[in-house]
Structure 1
């Protein structure tokens, strides 16, 4: 009797675990989930290196830079918490970490105008807004307000922006000084030529990244970063060429170190409103929400569909809960000063390797947690080794242009403006604003002014105020 009771209890525990994650119901196994979790981690672990390099590559309005070690720790910690919660509570095989579409906006567009604490405060507010949108049903109104083709253009424009940042960080593209009298604003390498070992490391890293990605090698980006970093360490130790930028690749004194939590909680929620004014802050928040919310929507549906979690009507059960966690994770990224977290498309790598449940995400999250103790290794990666990842990811995002109908007169020019102005001005806000204004203008002159809807008209007026902010300030003193 005692043995039977014990066996029944053990089976109940196993069944309870299985039922929570729906492992059997989704046709998976614990082994497949663990394997999928490892695969997803390998596919996106590069963000622990890449995010700190992007954020520490910029200065805030006071000229301050974030600590490289601190941001690295917080990037891993933030991904650990967000991904584990998504797995345990959301119960889907979706992993989260610092969004490349948002950190570039924070580093190169928002931070130069405010302090880092104020910039991260806006990230927290962005996440909270996404949560509100997710649970209120307002997301449907926003999704319907912006034409699908312009959403694709925003994603592709962000891709061009990210790729350009990678090329500039590596020194592959540089600004030509105005003093030389030429009208060419940017050139290849130094003075129109590729020179030096750092550039060679970047080129080799980029070619390797492309080759591994083309061969569908799991963890291709991370492998390329590691190989290029090792090559950089060897080159620096033998030739000492210098010119690496922010990080010179040298062997660290130690591999393991205690995590640096000094950046945790360094947030000023409302300081940006006093510093910049209401209109500018609203536009910044709109851009952050747009970048984070819509990218997450597309990724969640795409990866979940591949995992067989979307029904025949294109609906995903529990989508509200998943979107709420995604928004809360974005806000948590601001609290940790690692920028907003979002669902990574690399989650598809784990799904392709068998992941079907949230258990895989719990595994991925725990691996990110372990990474917090390996920060010294991340601090030796030069920009030339990490930049190829930006170029590749940017290129993959640009592929969204295939979905844009350039034969549509009312779409072609607005989409083009988003694609062109976003990287040319180093400003996602400017690109999105120009595209939406052009779209509403074309609708109006063609006698269709009602079609954009009142919400998009409000957004358009916000962007008009943004572009004319200097004139408004002069007018009102």
Structure 2
């Protein structure tokens, strides 16, 4: 381990690395409860999603450990899973398309392949550098708002209304009350720097829910979609079968532009998630070189891209680097041994599927709200006094995601508005090739929606 992971060279040791790996796992294991809840909205089997989430997380994290030697863990990305379910699959299902998640998985696979190819070029750097900062900020904050809205809807805190479009749900329901309590628990634990505060908040909300069911406050009504909160161990602890290679490429032939737009939206968010996370985690761990660059960046990006392809083949949404890896770095993690530890723990978690699958949607709402809070906080970096194109693009990206219930729409309106305003304000020369490509792509997408 010393020679392979270069522990002494990175001023660390086995005990510190293992402790850091456990810390990272506790910080991000909530995804095993959240991902099945989100992707099941796309019509997928929750048990199969759980298995795919755990195995793909372990696989990608181990690649990061052995190939890139970085203390970064990976799993199905928040925001990307919401885009998969709510922006891609549900609208397709409403159009009468059967098993739209198979088309979405095909898009994730293609996105991963493109990401692999781009890892050998400087396109990703161009994409990251040439997209206006305000637009990137608006997109990040907008995804946070979207994730928060998904969580609020899942607990019945926000409901539909014919008169006001949206309204507040019934305050007296256990789902509403316990979701709010769980969010407060996470906030308090975060204040005291408790490791795994998101997971603890989910489990505490779930346990309170079981107590509510035991005393009769939470009423089970299977026909109404209200299920028992107590885990069932009738099926044992063995993992469920995954949806291996469940791709549908037949639909693509008549919807090429729409499919390319879906791929681009996945790729766009994935690249910014990955690059931002890698730089952020590396900065916190002092892993950047003297020029502020990330050594072995190509290996790290390839690990992420390969993880995405593997995840699609196993039946889950885009796998990406997790910012929660910074928790392990703060605990002293500096090498791939940290990631190795986290990956092994994801494999062990496979045999706890009855527990994770019994966690209800309202118990994951606190986690979605907390992740939403962290992402929305980036709005403070949005410069409203800058160039009008930058300000409007960032603003539209921010508001269009939650208000149209689509991450792709936010990216689309943000980019198109930026190019058009630059054109009409006489700043044609400031429009880069990347932004022209995005403009044309999303312009074609709007044309297909008319």
TM-score, scaled to structure 1: 0.89
CA distance in structure 2 between the partners assigned to 1:252 and 1:121 by the alignment? 33
Report 1:20-419 matches (<5 A). 20-56=4-40, 58-59=41-42, 65-112=43-90, 113=92, 115-176=100-161, 178=162, 182=163, 184-190=164-170, 194-239=171-216, 240-242=218-220, 245=225, 247-253=227-233, 257-268=237-248, 270-274=249-253, 277-408=255-386, 409-419=388-398
Q: Deviation at 1:467?
A: 1.6
CA distance in structure 1 between the partners assigned to 2:292 and 2:227 by the alignment? 46
Q: Describe the SS at the equivalent of 1:97.
A: strand
CA distance in structure 1 between the partners assigned to 2:55 and 2:108 by the alignment? 17
- Does structure 2 conserve the Cα–Cα contact (< 8 Å) formed by 1:152 and 1:404? yes
CA distance in structure 2 between the partners assigned to 1:320 and 1:284 by the alignment? 25
Pair 401,325 (structure 1): closer, same or farther in 2 beyond 3 Å:
same
CA distance in structure 2 between the partners assigned to 1:254 and 1:403 by the alignment? 51
Q: Deviation at 1:273?
A: 1.2
CA distance in structure 2 between the partners assigned to 1:254 and 1:370 by the alignment? 20
CA distance in structure 1 between the partners assigned to 2:21 and 2:226 by the alignment? 32
Q: Which runs of 5+ in 2 are unaligned?
A: none
Pairs aligned (count): 439
CA distance in structure 2 between the partners assigned to 1:86 and 1:252 by the alignment? 35
Structure 1 segments, 4+ long, off by >6 Å, are: none
1:424-447 CA distance string (max 9 Å, x none): 111111111111111111211121
Q: Which runs of 5+ in 1 are unaligned?
A: 1-16, 60-64, 472-477
1:149-169 CA distance string (max 9 Å, x none): 211211111111001100001
CA distance in structure 2 between the partners assigned to 1:221 and 1:81 by the alignment? 23
CA distance in structure 1 between the partners assigned to 2:158 and 2:286 by the alignment? 42
Q: Describe the SS at the equivalent of 1:241.
A: coil
CA distance in structure 1 between the partners assigned to 2:389 and 2:322 by the alignment? 32
- Does structure 1 conserve the Cα–Cα contact (< 8 Å) formed by 2:178 and 2:208? yes
Q: Deviation at 1:247?
A: 4.7
TM-score, scaled to structure 2: 0.94
1:79-110 CA distance string (max 9 Å, x none): 11111111111100000000012101110111
- Does structure 1 conserve the Cα–Cα contact (< 8 Å) formed by 2:51 and 2:242? no
Q: Describe the SS at the equivalent of 1:339.
A: coil
CA distance in structure 2 between the partners assigned to 1:213 and 1:465 by the alignment? 44
Tell me what 2:435 maps to: 456
Pair 293,170 (structure 1): closer, same or farther in 2 beyond 3 Å:
same
Q: Describe the SS at the equivalent of 1:225.
A: helix
Q: Return the match for 2:409 from 425, 430, 450.
A: 430
Pair 50,470 (structure 1): closer, same or farther in 2 beyond 3 Å:
closer
- Does structure 1 conserve the Cα–Cα contact (< 8 Å) formed by 2:49 and 2:242? no
1:260-297 CA distance string (max 9 Å, x none): 123122223x334135x111111111110011111110
CA distance in structure 2 between the partners assigned to 1:356 and 1:54 by the alignment? 32
Pair 247,379 (structure 1): closer, same or farther in 2 beyond 3 Å:
farther
Q: Deviation at 1:246?
A: 6.0
- Does structure 1 conserve the Cα–Cα contact (< 8 Å) formed by 2:220 and 2:227? no
Which is greater in Rg? 1
1:222-264 CA distance string (max 9 Å, x none): 0111111111111112214247956531232369511112312
1:367-423 CA distance string (max 9 Å, x none): 000011110001110111111100100110111112221111221111110000011
1:283-339 CA distance string (max 9 Å, x none): 111110011111110000110111111012110110011101101111111111121
Q: Describe the SS at the equivalent of 1:136.
A: coil
Pair 297,89 (structure 1): closer, same or farther in 2 beyond 3 Å:
same
- Does structure 2 conserve the Cα–Cα contact (< 8 Å) formed by 1:119 and 1:272? no
